[in-house]
Amino acid sequence: MSGGVDSSVAAATLVEQGYDVTGVYMKNWAQDLPGFECPWKTDYQDAKRIAVQLGIDFQVYDFQKQYRKQVVDYMIKEFRAGRTPNPDIMCNQEIKFKLFLDTAFADGADMIATGHYARTKGGQLYMAADTNKDQTYFLYRVSNEALRKTLFPIGEFKNKASVRAKAKRLGLVTANKKDSQGICFVGKVGIRQFLEHELGAQPTGNIIDQKGEKVGRHSGAIYYTIGQRHGLSVGGGLPYYVIGKDMAKNEVYVSTDLDNGNLWRGSFDITDIRWIGEFPPLAKTYLIRTRHRTPLVEAVITRPKNATHSVSTLHIVLKDKIRAITPGQSAVIYDGSKVLGGGVVI
């Protein structure tokens, strides 16, 4: 129970269905940052209030050390390498559906449940009924074994409005609580502020346009991602978009051409691949999502030339080009509403 309306309604739904429910708040991060107060105390108190309202037991699991090592340190390492990681995906893989699951079962649980918008059946993962709020993009690295032990009570709700309506009908104190914003574990603070706090000021460098000419200076290549428009401090003329960067040279590359080949890609490779079930047949068309809430695009998955069955990378050829495919982000593969797995963009 995170202290939000989704997990509150998830718990309430399970109680209605006759489950013996224990609410658990995971204390993953409690550090304040300059100018930003970590919201964990408020979230904890809200989760506890909901548990009292529902008449269920309540516990706190302190995972701060593990979270720092497995999620935060991973995220910082990826940014330093010039990639754009997704800490939510790593949190689900290592914390919520591994560490939390194992701890809960050691405490006597038979199943775990979360407030994710997703559905599961027979250890397989499916998109939520509300495709707009669907969160399966963040869950593709959860194992088949973990999914068999997981319930997603709000996966069948038709939309967020119906979730809030139920919370109001039950008089839950989180019924009108706003959804969390910013980094998953820090709250309203942005990723740039967090990296500045963790790593200090970054070396400045040149911003180079598509002609190879210097058009400005950046405040740290680590902060820029493919497709970014704002925060470049390059004035005059057409807007510039980030199309790449070189961490060794400390350069950021931009273009005013919206059709630039580095901004729109029709194919790409993925690595660090995870399948929820069996390795799927490659001789068919699947659906691919490269960012949360971006449209699904038809694609064919192939092996790189001369690759074996145990290949650690796969090549994805898209029916339609996608904008801002970014190294470090994930590409998730769907067969209809079923999530097959995915990998990290190279």
Nearest to 269 by CA among 331, 227, 341: 331
**Collapsing DSSP states into helix, strand and coil, what is residue 246?**
strand
pTM assigned to the model = 0.93
Q: Residue ranges of the alpha helices (H) in the chain?
A: 5-16, 40-54, 64-67, 73-80, 87-91, 100-106, 144-148, 160-169, 191-199
The total of other beta-carbon atoms located within 10 Å of residue 115's CB is 22
pLDDT at 127: 98
pLDDT at 185: 59
pLDDT at 310: 53
Sequence spans of domains, the chain: 5-169, 203-255, 264-345
132: DSSP letter: T
Tokens of 158: 């038709």
CA 8, CA 6: separation in Å to the nearest integer?
A: 5
Per-residue pLDDT for 183 more than 70? no
Per-residue pLDDT for 35 more than 80? no
CA 262, CA 285: separation in Å to the nearest integer?
A: 24
Catalytic residue from among 12, 95, 147, 184:
184
CATH classification for the domain delimited by 5-169, as one of 3.30.110.40, 3.10.20.30, 3.40.50.620, 3.90.640.10: 3.40.50.620
Percent share of the chain, pLDDT over 90: 84
Give φ, ψ of 18 to 5 degrees.
Answer: 95, 10
CA 22, CA 44: separation in Å to the nearest integer?
A: 14
Residue with the larger pLDDT of the pair 31 and 125: 125
The total of other beta-carbon atoms located within 10 Å of residue 102's CB is 12
| Parallel/antiparallel/unpaired status of strands 214-218 and 57-62 | unpaired
Least confident of 63-77, 152-166, 224-238: 224-238
Per-residue pLDDT for 236 more than 90? no
- Under the banding of pLDDT at 50, 70 and 90, the label for residue 232 is confident
CA 267, CA 142: separation in Å to the nearest integer?
A: 25
Least confident of 125-129, 188-192, 326-330: 188-192
Cβ proximity of 312 and 271 under 8 Å: yes
Percent share of the chain, pLDDT over 70: 95
Per-residue pLDDT for 190 more than 60? yes
Per-residue pLDDT for 34 more than 80? no
pLDDT at 189: 66
* Mean pLDDT value of segment 135-160: 97
CA 191, CA 197: separation in Å to the nearest integer?
A: 10
Among this protein's residues, is 38 annotated catalytic? no
Cβ proximity of 85 and 184 under 8 Å: no
Nearest to 298 by CA among 308, 309, 287, 282: 287
Residue with tokens 């495919």: 325
Catalytic residue from among 91, 172, 254, 316:
91
Q: What is 264-345's CATH superfamily?
A: Translation factors (2.40.30.10)
Burial class (CB in 10 A: 0-12, 13-18, 19+), 169: exposed
* CATH fold for domain 203-255: SH3 type barrels. (2.30.30)
CA 345, CA 267: separation in Å to the nearest integer?
A: 11
Angle at 243 between CA 267 and CA 255, to 5 degrees: 125
- Long-range contacts, 173-179 (Cβ 8 Å, 24+): 173/46, 173/49, 173/50, 173/53, 174/3, 174/4, 174/5, 174/8, 174/46, 174/49, 174/50, 175/5, 176/5, 177/3, 177/4, 177/5, 177/46, 179/4, 179/5
* Mean pLDDT value of segment 86-103: 96
